[in-house]
């Protein structure tokens, strides 16, 4: 039997987008747009076109927070990439608010 190939550090692994997106519902994510802005928030839902609904969203431009926006909708064609926020990073942000 051939040993399973494991990705090396720093390599990206192709992921099927729909299951990945559905796995992020209910979690904090960061969505980077094609125009450079980033939005961090709680992924409330995603539709079949991959439009995103974020709750408690915060906008970042050039790494600096421009403020809290609340609930927003991001149209799918504007998204460059998405990533989940690690739980330890979420806890740090929650501690900063206290």
| Residues 6-18: tens digit of each pLDDT | 667 777 888 888 9
- Cα dihedral value 76, 67, 96, 82, nearest 10: 10
Indicate the pLDDT class of residue 81, thresholds 50, 70 and 90.
Answer: very high
**Residue 62, domain member (yes or no):** yes
Angle (CA) 38 79 45, round 5°: 90
Total domain count for the chain?
A: 1
Does residue 36 have a pLDDT over 90? yes
Whether 39 has a pLDDT exceeding 50, the answer reads yes
Domain that holds residue 45: 20-97
Q: Is residue 53 part of a domain?
A: yes
Q: What is the pTM of this model?
A: 0.78
Mean pLDDT to the nearest integer, 27-56: 97
Q: Is residue 4 part of a domain?
A: no
Query: Which CATH number does the domain housing residue 54 bear?
Result: 2.30.30.100
Q: For residue 2, is it within any domain?
A: no
Higher pLDDT, 91 or 88: 88
Q: Report yes or no on 13 lying in a domain.
A: no
The CA-based diameter of the chain, rounded to the nearest angstrom, is 54
In a domain, 68, yes or no: yes
Residue 68 has pLDDT above 70, yes or no: yes
């Amino acid at each position: 039997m051939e040993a399973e190939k494991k990705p090396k550090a720093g390599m990206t692994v192709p992921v099927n987008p729909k299951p990945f997106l559905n796995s992020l519902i209910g979690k904090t994510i960061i969505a980077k747009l094609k125009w450079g802005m980033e939005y961090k928030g709680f992924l409330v839902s995603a539709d079949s076109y991959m439009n995103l609904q974020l709750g408690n969203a915060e906008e970042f431009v050039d790494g600096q927070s421009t403020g809290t926006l609340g609930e927003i909708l991001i149209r799918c064609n504007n998204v460059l990439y998405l990533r989940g926020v690690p739980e330890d990073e979420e806890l740090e942000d929650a501690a900063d608010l206290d």
